[in-house]
């Protein structure tokens, strides 16, 4: 294989690495003020995103440890887009922060880990990628150095992720022991439903479930989201979740295909639990970040239902939904981060009469929430619809009914926020917010995405054409 192809195949990873080293040099060089740095970084990230789109080639290198194809590239592009948006949104917060570059280094290396995880061809690479995406985040979660909660969040994240990776490894060791290989493609032939392998699978699955915070492995989520800086929270809730879901889909659909009727039930069970618990917790929350945390848990439940569908539809719908989820959730987090960075307010009760002072932001947040709730014409509607559509493939209608009815609860809490912004009165509402240019761009992109992604079907068709048939 030509050396050049290596670079083509690895171009996204290489881009990230290059940015990391550039940032390192900037750091080691003379002191620069944050504005310039942030400007540079955002440009880098944009370039990075752009590079992702050029020249698609498929192939596996390093003896199958690194495999890539158009779908994988697309997934990575989604993540690139997400991190670009996040970095623009966190402008207001980072402008005054001391360790901007370090922050980006951590975020980017975690992203790099995700890339390797996504295109991993064997369990070792998968494990490395997973850890690499987790450990830096734990450090990044601590970046509000002055805040007690921040470090508590970091602690909770690192401890529980270490625990979960311990269990994951335990499972992996048994898979290795029973199949004798770490390579996915070889493994798939050897997986049968022997108890030990099932157990190993469940351990592995729990590792995934932990990362995407599915019930009952979700308990760290809310605390970490609340404690961590908003930028990290949005990264956790969007990027790392999306990455793990991508892997989960491919692993379930390829490696554990032979167990499909078992994991179908498992996934469905977990999905329903996740939706219900997520909703039940979300209706009580007052802190915006915590609220969004639980709402995102509920969203994961729906994603799992889509995964359970186990069909080409399933893959396509899940990825499609994640794209939409990126836009919607980031739009919401964008507003929240602006408010918390500039006004330092994070409670829903603070948002009362928000519309009177910041109509634009209020509309953006409303649209985002509607998209999360799945109200047309926002893209969220299409996403949810297709997820449930895919989930119904195997004809389990009662669970679908439960899920659908749970959407009503979710409506309740999303509308609660809308109500607070539009209908409630407030003595001292949040003052007028001057939106920085970057945030403006980011929010604009999100809103456009929310509108366009749903109504224009070619996006879905494209994803569908990429996604493998089950």
Signed CA dihedral, 318, 90, 298, 447: sign only: negative
Smaller CB separation from another protein, 417 or 438? 417
CB of 190 to another protein, least distance (A): 12
Smaller CB separation from another protein, 57 or 457? 457
CB of 457 to another protein, least distance (A): 5
CB of 88 to another protein, least distance (A): 22
Which residues make Cβ contacts (< 8 Å) with residue 286, sequence separation at least 6?
A: 347, 348, 349
CB of 31 to another protein, least distance (A): 13
CB of 334 to another protein, least distance (A): 22
The DSSP-derived string for 326-368 is HHHHHHHHHHHHHHHHHT---BGGGGTTHHHH-HHHHHHHHHH
CB of 254 to another protein, least distance (A): 19
Smaller CB separation from another protein, 77 or 109? 109
Q: Which two tokens stand for residue 134?
A: 């987790």
Can you state the angle between helices 379-391 and 437-455, rounded to 10 degrees? 50
Smaller CB separation from another protein, 342 or 389? 389
Smaller CB separation from another protein, 156 or 241? 156
Smaller CB separation from another protein, 46 or 199? 199
User: Which of 393-413 are b and which e, b meaning 16 or more Cβ less than 10 Å from the residue's Cβ?
Assistant: beebeebbeebeebbebbbeb
Smaller CB separation from another protein, 198 or 342? 198
120 exposure class (CB count in 10 Å sphere: 0-12, 13-18, 19+): buried
Smaller CB separation from another protein, 44 or 143? 143
Q: How many alpha carbons fall within 13 Å on the CB side of residue 252?
A: 29
Smaller CB separation from another protein, 52 or 207? 207
What DSSP character marks residue 66?
E
Signed CA dihedral, 242, 240, 82, 225: sign only: positive
CB of 85 to another protein, least distance (A): 22
Residue 312: what are its φ and ψ, rounded to 5°?
Answer: -60, -40
Smaller CB separation from another protein, 246 or 438? 246
Residue 66: what are its φ and ψ, rounded to 5°?
Answer: -125, 110
CB of 386 to another protein, least distance (A): 7
CB of 47 to another protein, least distance (A): 20
Q: In whole angstroms, what separates CA 313 from the centre of its chain?
A: 20
294 exposure class (CB count in 10 Å sphere: 0-12, 13-18, 19+): buried
Smaller CB separation from another protein, 32 or 284? 284
Task: Tell me which residue of 317, 173, 197 sits closest to 256, measured CA to CA.
Answer: 197
**Backbone region of residue 430 per phi and psi (left: phi > 0; alpha: psi in -120 to 50; beta: other values):** beta
CB of 433 to another protein, least distance (A): 20
Please tell me whether residue 180 adopts helix, strand or coil conformation.
coil
Residue 197 near residue 175, CB atoms below 8 Å: yes
Residue tagged 């779908």 (tokens):
71
What size, in residues, is the chain? Answer: 470
Which residues make Cβ contacts (< 8 Å) with residue 330, sequence separation at least 6?
A: 82, 85, 86, 89, 234, 238, 442, 446
Radius of gyration of the chain (CA): 21
CB of 122 to another protein, least distance (A): 9
């Amino acid at each position: 294989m030509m050396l050049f192809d290596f670079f083509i195949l690895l171009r996204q990873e290489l881009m990230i690495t290059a940015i990391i080293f550039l940032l390192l040099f900037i750091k080691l060089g003379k002191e620069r003020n944050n504005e310039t740095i942030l400007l540079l970084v955002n440009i880098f990230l944009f370039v990075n995103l752009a590079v992702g789109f050029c020249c698609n080639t498929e192939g596996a290198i390093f003896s199958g440890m690194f495999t890539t194809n158009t779908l994988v590239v697309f997934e990575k592009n989604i993540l690139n887009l997400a991190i670009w948006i996040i970095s623009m949104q966190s402008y207001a917060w980072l402008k005054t922060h001391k360790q901007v570059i370090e922050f980006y280094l951590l975020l980017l290396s975690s992203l790099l880990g995700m890339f390797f995880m996504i295109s991993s061809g064997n369990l070792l690479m998968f494990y490395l990628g997973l850890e690499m995406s987790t450990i830096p985040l734990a450090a990044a979660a601590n970046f509000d150095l002055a805040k007690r909660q921040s470090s508590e969040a970091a602690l909770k994240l690192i401890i529980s992720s270490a625990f979960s990776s311990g269990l994951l490894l335990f499972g992996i060791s048994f898979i290795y022991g029973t199949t004798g290989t770490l390579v996915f493609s070889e493994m798939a032939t050897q997986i049968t439903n022997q108890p030990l392998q099932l157990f190993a699978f469940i351990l592995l699955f729990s590792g995934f479930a932990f990362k995407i915070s599915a019930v009952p492995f979700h308990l760290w989520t809310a605390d970490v989201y609340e404690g961590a800086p908003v930028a990290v929270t949005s990264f956790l809730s969007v990027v790392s979740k999306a990455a793990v879901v991508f892997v989960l889909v491919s692993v379930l659909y390829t490696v554990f295909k032979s167990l499909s009727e078992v994991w179908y039930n498992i996934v469905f069970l977990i999905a329903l639990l996740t939706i219900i618990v997520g909703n039940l917790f979300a209706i009580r929350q007052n802190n915006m970040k915590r609220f969004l945390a639980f709402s995102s848990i509920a969203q994961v439940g729906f994603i799992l239902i889509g995964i359970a569908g186990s069909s080409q539809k399933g893959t396509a719908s899940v990825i499609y939904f994640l794209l939409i989820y990126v836009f919607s959730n980031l739009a919401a987090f964008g507003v929240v981060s602006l408010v918390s960075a500039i006004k330092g307010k994070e409670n829903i009760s603070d948002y009362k009469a928000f519309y009177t002072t910041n109509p634009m932001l209020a509309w953006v947040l409303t649209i985002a929430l509607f998209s999360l709730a799945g109200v047309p014409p926002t893209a969220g509607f299409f996403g949810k619809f297709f997820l449930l559509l895919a989930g119904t493939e195997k004809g389990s209608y009662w669970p679908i009914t439960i899920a659908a009815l749970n959407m009503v609860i979710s409506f309740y809490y999303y509308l609660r926020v809308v109500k607070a912004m539009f209908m409630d009165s407030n003595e001292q509402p949040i003052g007028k917010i001057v939106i920085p240019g970057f945030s403006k761009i980011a929010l604009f992109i999100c809103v456009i995405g929310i509108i366009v992604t749903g109504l224009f079907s070619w996006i879905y068709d494209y994803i569908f054409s990429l996604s493998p048939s089950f």
